[in-house]
Structure 1
Amino acid sequence: MSQRKRFTEIDALRGLAALAVVMFHYTTRYEERFGIDNGGFSDIFVFGEYGVQLFFIISGFVIYMSILKVKSVSDFAIKRSFRLYPAYIFAVVLTFTVVSIAPIDQLKIDIMPALVNLTMFQDFLGAPRVDGVYWTLRVELTFYILMGILLFFKVEKNVMWIVYSWLAFSVGVQLMHLSVDNNTTAMIREFSIASFSHMFIIGMMFYSIWQHGDKLKYYAVIGMCIGYDLIFLSVENALFTALFVLAFYLVIHNRMQFLSSRALVFFGTISYPLYLIHQNIGYVVINKMHELGFTHPIFTVMLIGATILAAYLIFRYVETPVQNALYKIYKGQRKPGGKKKIATD
């Protein structure tokens, strides 16, 4: 199978997933939380929440590819931190500031838990989130930690052993929760990410297919993951998983090259800051618009456009320059002639 350095189609899929989540939150989810119809779109974008599943599949593909290329656990952790924290810290500060001055008490949190949010480990430390969408970061971080463990023990290339073990463990967690439904088993299921592990596994299998070709064992695992979804989550969930599997199959077989258009790839480029800033700030703006009588659907469209613009500005003037500066420092410290060298495992 022909190899490419980067799949722009996957970037586009990430962008489309982010847009779907934004539209879901600004319509269906807004109506659920505030009991106010926002433009009559709630039925149209009700399935937008499934964009998060696509995020996790993409992460399985990209992060598994990353751990096969990095030199150490510290290298992996540092590069992930450079990727995640610049936009995230800015988004936390911005969201907390906007929500703090807005008259919506249900979105507010105190300053101390907000400071805990700057670590990105608020869910692990029992602190409330500055923005509800940050729940997915706990899932992603758990996956990163698992990948780091594999890298530490140098077993990251044993992909079939990894996915069989992880899927079996997830089945065990789900069965335990079904048989003993209490707070303890619910917490185990939540923090083991058993409800999302199969998404990451699907991504890992597609990376293996991209690297090693169409092999039955990879597709068998993907089939197991769809079955897992059907048994332990829902028929609807499994249908969307199957849809995303089809999309990924077409992408890695070069059948969706139309996704490489500059417009779609642009949304993939800004997808991370777009996801981070859209929800609570958007709710504040929507509430203000309704207060002023701006209830026509065009104002929701305008808000989406403004959110996209804000995400681009964060990408252009915060995320990119800070990342570039951090990578430059890191590469300089790793050079033999550098004044300081970061320790590696």
Structure 2
Amino acid sequence: MPGTRGAISRKEPGTRLFALDGIRITAALVVVLYHYIGLNTAWDRNTAELFPALRPLALYGWLGVEIFFIVSGFVICMSVWGRTVGDFAVSRISRLFPAYWAGIALTALTLWLLPEVQELRHTDEWSDVLVNLTMMQGGLGVGHVDHSYWTLFVELKFYALFALVVLRGVTYRNCVLFCGIWTLAAVAAPTTDFRLLHFFSMPQYAPYFIAGIAFYLMHRYRPTMLLWAIVGVQFLLAQQYVRGRMRTNLGLHLSEQLPTWPARLVIALGFLAIAAVALGLLDRIQWRWLKTAGAITYPLYVIHMAVGITLIHHFRDRVAPLPLVASVTAAMLVASWLIHLWVERPLSKRLRSGMKRGVQEIRLNTPAAAGPAAPDSPAPAEDRVRDMAMASAGGTGR
């Protein structure tokens, strides 16, 4: 694409965006609210009777997942810049699996000790639990130990797709081309019988990932009409699936009774929040506690649903509803912090070290002539050289 060769990064790589941590923990808590208050599963009765003021809001809490996907598109594009496919694989596997394994262990143990809520049991045999350890059960038709894990398989498919960009080289041009090709695939998939295309293009969720990538390009370089057009098209495409997502999460009867405009409003607010991050409007947010909040978001997500609902169900007749939800939520936050501290950090470090050695072994034993062409993505050092050149010529502007 003409003009991309001279595109200059205007952001210092590695700068932490605390606002993103705030958005992530907010989205996670909204999903928790949906599972604990919006659904009747934990209470064996209509939660409208227990939470008349909160339930109308909680019923739309599933939209926190859509916000997660936008953040994921932004963060993945940011984190892989200048990296190889091996680096990308090491980073993602060491980041996702330790807390996930802890979540499976805690969830399976809870459902075994307190088998009170039959709706939470999606695995028939212990072999299903073992398959869940791979995070690939969604592709095999095996039930999830915790139903919320379906989103992790969606994330894995996104990583597989974006690995193609990393293989080619993560550049401004390649990211834009990727967004365009994925958009076309996601639009075409519902009208074809090509199941593999539908499987990987993920029409319902692609708009959020693609928008996140475009927002990161705005953040790294500058907003352009092209990038805003990509975001705008994704927002419009996302509207097609709102009613279907409501049916999936709320059931046919309830979803037909409720209006769709609150869901569309939440999606719009999610887009606006990430846009504010991309444009630097939230750069002044430097609250250090948000780093911890962001760190426990993923552990919270992988343990909160089945474990939390089981605890609420177990104590629902002994503790008042609102204090019970608050207590269980607080317990899940503490457990998430402990998993991050005692499981995720040490195990991620060991997993990362071991995988790096494995990747290095592949590189050492692969003849240079047989390897892929060198990626055309500018290294961070090259970006800095360009920045210095522009600064000496009068600055890049903003």
Instruction: Calculate the TM-score normalised by the size of structure 1.
Output: 0.87
Residue-by-residue CA offset, 1:2-33 (whole Å, 9 max, x unaligned):
43622121122111111111111111024599
The residue that corresponds to 1:337 in the other structure is none
Unpaired runs of 5+ in structure 2?
Answer: 1-9, 244-259, 364-370, 372-398
Q: Matches of residues 325-344 of structure 1 in structure 2 within 5 Å?
A: 325-330=350-355, 333=357, 341-344=360-363
Residue-by-residue CA offset, 1:94-137 (whole Å, 9 max, x unaligned):
10111112132332322011110000000011110000000100
The 1-side partners of 2:75 and 2:89 are apart by 14
The residue that corresponds to 1:99 in the other structure is 111
The 1-side partners of 2:42 and 2:110 are apart by 22
The 2-side partners of 1:254 and 1:51 are apart by 22
The 2-side partners of 1:43 and 1:113 are apart by 35
Q: Matches of residues 311-322 of structure 1 in structure 2 within 5 Å?
A: 311-322=336-347
For 1:97, the aligned partner's letter is L
Root mean square deviation of aligned Cα: 2.5
**Greater shift after overlay, 146-155 or 28-37?**
28-37
Q: CA deviation at 1:171?
A: 1.0
- 2:83 corresponds to 1:67: no
Given the alignment, which residue of 207, 210, 215 partners 2:224?
215
The residue that corresponds to 1:163 in the other structure is 179
Compared with structure 1, are the counterparts of its residues 226 and 341 closer, same or farther at alpha carbon in structure 2 (3 Å cutoff)? closer
The residue that corresponds to 1:260 in the other structure is 286
Q: Secondary structure at the match of 2:150?
A: helix
Q: CA deviation at 1:216?
A: 0.7
Q: Secondary structure at the match of 1:152?
A: helix
2:179–2:210 contact (8 Å) kept in structure 1: yes
Rg larger for: 2
Q: CA deviation at 1:44?
A: 3.0
Given the alignment, which residue of 65, 89, 94 partners 1:77?
89
The 1-side partners of 2:308 and 2:329 are apart by 9
2:17–2:283 contact (8 Å) kept in structure 1: no
Residue-by-residue CA offset, 1:138-195 (whole Å, 9 max, x unaligned):
110000000112323447651222111111111112344xxxxxxx788964553110
**Greater shift after overlay, 279-288 or 259-268?**
259-268
- 2:273 corresponds to 1:247: yes
Given the alignment, which residue of 136, 151, 173 partners 2:151?
136
The residue that corresponds to 2:392 in the other structure is none
Unpaired runs of 5+ in structure 1?
Answer: 177-183, 335-339
Compared with structure 1, are the counterparts of its residues 314 and 146 closer, same or farther at alpha carbon in structure 2 (3 Å cutoff)? same
The 2-side partners of 1:18 and 1:259 are apart by 19
The residue that corresponds to 1:275 in the other structure is 301
For 1:173, the aligned partner's letter is A
The 2-side partners of 1:161 and 1:254 are apart by 25
- 2:326 corresponds to 1:307: no
2:182–2:201 contact (8 Å) kept in structure 1: no
1:274–1:311 contact (8 Å) kept in structure 2: yes
1:274–1:308 contact (8 Å) kept in structure 2: yes
Q: Matches of residues 192-231 of structure 1 in structure 2 within 5 Å?
A: 192-231=201-240
Given the alignment, which residue of 128, 140, 145 partners 1:125?
140
Instruction: Calculate the TM-score normalised by the size of structure 2.
Output: 0.76
**Greater shift after overlay, 292-301 or 31-40?**
31-40
User: Between Structure 1 and Structure 2, how many residues are aligned?
Assistant: 330
How much identity, in percent, do the aligned residues show?
Answer: 29
Given the alignment, which residue of 107, 112, 130 partners 1:115?
130
The residue that corresponds to 1:181 in the other structure is none
**Greater shift after overlay, 300-309 or 40-49?**
40-49
- 2:296 corresponds to 1:296: no
**Greater shift after overlay, 221-230 or 105-114?**
105-114
Compared with structure 1, are the counterparts of its residues 224 and 341 closer, same or farther at alpha carbon in structure 2 (3 Å cutoff)? closer
Q: CA deviation at 1:251?
A: 1.8
